[in-house]
Amino acid sequence: MKFISYPAPCKINLFLHITGRRDDGYHRLQTLFLLLDHGDTLRIRVREDGQLQHLNPLPGVPADKDLTIRAARALQESSGCQLGAEIECLKRTPMGGGLGGGSSDAATVLMALNQQWQLGYTRQQLMQIGLTLGADVPVFIFGQPAWAEGVGEQLSAVMMPADILEKYYVVITPHIEVPTAKIFAHQALTRDSKPLKIADFSNGANSTAFWQQARNDMESIVCSLYPEVNDSLQWLKQFGDARMSGSGGSVFVAVDSEIKANDLIENRPKNTSGFWAKGLKYHPLFNTLLNED
Ligand SMILES: C[C@](O)(CO)[C@H](O)COP(=O)(O)OP(=O)(O)OC[C@H]1O[C@@H](n2ccc(N)nc2=O)[C@H](O)[C@@H]1O
Ligand SMILES: Nc1ncnc2c1ncn2[C@@H]1O[C@H](COP(=O)(O)OP(=O)(O)OP(=O)(O)O)[C@@H](O)[C@H]1O
């Protein structure tokens, strides 16, 4: 069996409002996901003996805890498939950065092995398996810019206007990891944002009013706990309406040209990593799922 390479793009949250909390502690939110053409590459080869092997475990993440192996195991368990896989991950998405790197890796493994093991799961079925691995996994299988509600799993495709898709997204990540659970559990987190209406976003006529209200409800807490995030955010705000993605610590701003994007990346604050990328209309693996519901 030969190795096949599969992309695992990252995401940004264009806004993120927390509108409530469920009895199990998970938070209800509203967010707009944009997938970016930047991310990890997974190399995957099928094994006949049923074993799952991670060929280059990430620093600090034991192979059996890695979301790629957990995704493959979840697929074996749900399908009863006797095949296995070897997985290698070329990591480009900063870990713990609010860019959904691990979640996207998991989604890519689900889509790739669904194809290679010939399981025939539909998009909806894979999204449900993905949700057991993390709240951010389903959107990568959904594969399009999405308005999300619930804990992030109720997804509606949105037509992103040209002024969002044509931008260059400059993403800066301080060299720290922000634990998502810690931010969701913080006592000062506001959990009562008034729900916005998807129609106000979709209806271009109202979009200025929409963006005036839209923010990331986790941003102020992360900025107070991690001054490095605040510094990067304040620096980026010189160039536009910068905000934080997910639970941080990555921050981003949209600019109009590649030259400007390169300039910001070259001059970014010390002790940060950075890249620029464009928004994706579709996940590159969108068409590997041939069985639509
Ligand atoms: C902040 C976002 O990145 C926005 O896209 C996601 O909501 C987080 O998704 P994720 O990293 O896949 O999160 P998970 O791995 O499912 O959850 C990590 C922890 O965050 C908390 N959590 C997560 C999602 C959510 N809607 N409410 C929560 O309270 C829970 O304590 C959970 O144990
Ligand atoms: N394949 C993987 N890639 C990255 N992290 C992984 C992976 N598997 C497990 N993890 C663990 O998951 C944690 C979160 O990683 P990830 O890069 O997905 O964070 P994140 O982008 O902040 O997530 P989110 O946006 O979903 O909150 C890591 O610190 C690591 O311990």
Nearest to 254 by CA among 196, 180, 168, 190: 168
- Quick one: 60 and 179 in the same domain? no
Task: Evaluate whether residue 10 is within a structural domain.
Answer: yes
Question: Catalytic residue at 65?
Answer: no
Same domain for 135 and 218, yes or no, is no
For residue range 216-265, list pLDDT tens digits in order. 999 999 999 999 999 999 999 999 999 999 999 999 999 999 999 999 99
Task: Tell me what pLDDT residue 291 has.
Answer: 66
pLDDT at 141: 97
pLDDT tens per residue, range 171-217: 999 999 999 999 999 999 999 999 988 877 777 666 777 888 889 99
Best of 142, 184, 189, 191 for a ligand 1 pocket test (most atoms within 8 Å of beta carbon): 184
Asked whether residue 205 falls in the same domain as residue 269, the answer is: yes
Pair 61, 137 in one domain? yes
- Check if 178 has its Cβ closer than 6 Å to any atom of ligand 1: no
pTM of the complete model: 0.96
The per-residue pLDDT for 38 is 98
109 and 47 in a common domain: yes
Least confident residue range of 29-38, 100-109, 158-167, 199-208: 199-208
292 falls within a domain: no
Residue 293 domain flag: no
Q: What pLDDT, on a 0 to 100 scale, did the predictor assign at position 205?
A: 60
State the average pLDDT over residues 97-124.
Answer: 97
Domain count, the chain: 2
Distance, in Å, from the CA atom of 171 to the CA atom of 99, rounded to the nearest integer, reads: 10
Residue 180 Cβ contacting ligand 1 at under 6 Å: yes
Give residue 84's pLDDT.
Answer: 98
Residue of 128, 136, 215 to mutate, ligand 1, most atoms within 8 A of C-beta: 136
Can you give the pLDDT at residue 292?
A: 67
- Is the domain of 48 the same as that of 74? yes
What pLDDT score was predicted for residue 163? 85
CATH of the domain at 178: 3.30.70.890
| DSSP strand pairing (84-90 vs 52-54) | parallel
Is the beta carbon of 101 within 6 A of some atom in ligand 2?
Answer: yes
In this predicted model, what pLDDT tens digit does every residue of 21-42 receive, in sequence order? 999 999 999 999 999 999 999 9
pLDDT of residue 288: 86
With a threshold of 0.85, tell me whether the complex ipTM lies above it: yes
Please tell me the predicted confidence (pLDDT) of residue 47.
Answer: 98
Sign of CA dihedral 117, 292, 123, 74: negative
63-69 mean pLDDT: 97
Active site residue 40: no
285 in a structural domain: no
Cα-to-centroid distance, 207 and ligand 1 (Å): 27
The percentage of residues in the chain with a pLDDT greater than 90, rounded to a whole number, is: 87
Q: Quick one: 45 and 69 in the same domain?
A: yes
Does 108 share its domain with 198?
Answer: no
Residue 256: domain span: 162-277
80 known member of a binding site: no
CA of 183: how far to CAs of 22, 67, 136, 147, 225, in Å?
Answer: 16, 21, 16, 22, 9
pLDDT confidence of residue 149: 96
Work out the percent of the chain whose per-residue pLDDT is above 70.
98
Tell me the average pLDDT of the chain: 95
Is the pLDDT at 147 greater than 70? The verdict is: yes
Q: Of all atoms in ligand 2, which is nearest to the CA of residue 68?
A: 1
> Is 274 part of any known ligand binding site?
no
pLDDT at residue 237, rounded to an integer: 97
- Ligand 1 centroid–CA 281 distance in Å is 24
Q: How far apart are CA 22 and CA 30, in angstroms?
A: 14
Asked if residue 247 has its Cβ within 6 Å of ligand 2, the reply is yes
In total, the chain counts a number of residues equal to 293
> What CATH number does residue 17 fall under?
3.30.230.10
pLDDT at 209: 77
* Four-residue CA torsion sign, 217, 91, 233, 186: positive
Domain end call among 109, 132, 159 = 159
